[in-house]
Amino acid sequence: MSTKISLTRYLVEQQRIDGHIPAQLRLLLEVVARACKRISQAVNKGALGDVMGSAETENVQGEMQKKLDIIANEVLIEANEWGGHLAAMASEEMEGIYVVPNRYPQGEYLLLFDPLDGSSNIDVNVSIGTIFSVLRKPEGTGVSEQDFLQAGIKQVAAGYCVYGPQTTLVLTVGDGVAMFTLDREQGSFILTEENVRIPDDTKEFAINMSNMRHWDAPVKRYVDECLQGTEGPRAKDFNMRWIASMVADVHRILSRGGVFLYPWDKREPEKPGKLRLMYEANPMSWLIEQAGGAATNGKQRILDIQPSKLHERVSVILGSKNEVERATRYHNEA
């Protein structure tokens, strides 16, 4: 019988072999995984639980919140506040940071999350997920929003959990990308893929085509060349996918390659893009790079961007290296 490696065992071994996961970080990742299990259960209840539909409230981004956005946010906070591993948390669904209450010990890590990614897909039974990023709190007493404003290269762990036909947790601690599938009978995440690699080339792109008229010239050029297929300069036919849950689109790319674009567009010219740097683009970019892919905002590597605010937005191009490099080159040439 082949031995199944649980997430717990994987993390213990990572800690032992490389010593680069301190005990506190291991605990943190276990707690996040446990929270994802609870969110997965809530997602699975669907119309049988009180989890569908709108919460009739708005978040700091001016977006209507779904009930599940709020449930997932609460689950992550409750799971993480008492363990002593965190100093504070930040979330898409909270305007300011959430400092660990002083009735609990304070740890040295900062956790950022998009509790429920792909909210528009909740009510239509399409894959959604949770995205998270872990930073170390800078030295010094107390904790402030400023402490969170670190470039993506400073992440010490990042991942997501996708709630789809299977619930899969995908993780990096800077030593490649590993995938864990939730075994519902056992209630634990089991390692199902290690050393995930993204092919350098692809014939699949992901972008919301309905925004085409709002795009900038380099994005139009890139997509237009893909659409020309064998008759165009790329001399091959491309396929297109758009799930509208970043987790699900990124999961496909980690599984079989592809390129994902959510570029700046003219709809809201003052915003650099739709996706949020610190809890969407940064963790996803690190996972993609760890799997051999690339991630840029069209001009520079996403992980090098110095954030200036918690809910900062960013233009995103990520996935198979050669495609990301090409689309980035078109931006730099323009």
Residue from 120, 186, 306, 332 binding ligand AHG (CB under 6 A): 120
Applying CB under 6 A, among 81, 92, 289, 323 the residue interacting with ligand AHG is 92
Near ligand AHG by CB under 6 A, which window of 2-10, 50-58, 76-84, 114-122? 114-122
Among 40, 65, 73, 119, binds ligand AHG (CB under 6 A): 119
Rounded least distance, CB 71 to Mn ion, Å: 12
Residues 194-223 vs ligand AHG: string with x where CB under 6 A? --------------x---------------
Residue 70 structure tokens = 């709020």
Site for ligand AHG in 250-269 (CB under 6 A): 262
The whole-angstrom separation of Cα 291 and Cα 158 is 13
All residues at 6 or more sequence positions from 165 whose CB lies less than 8 Å from its CB, including other chains:
127
Contacts of 78 (CB under 8 A, 6+ apart): 35
Positions that interact with Mn ion (CB under 5 A): 92, 114, 116-117
Using the rule CB under 6 A, is 241 a contact of ligand AHG?
no
Binder of ligand AHG out of 30, 81, 117, 147 (CB under 6 A) = 117
Among 245, 296, 315, 328, binds ligand AHG (CB under 6 A): 245
Nearer to ligand AHG, 130 or 290 (CB): 130
Task: Find the shortest distance in angstroms from Cβ 276 to ligand AHG.
Answer: 8
Amino acid 198 reads I
Name the minimum Å distance from CB 132 to Mn ion: 12
Per CB under 6 A, residues contacting ligand AHG are 63, 92, 114, 117-120, 208, 244-246, 262, 274
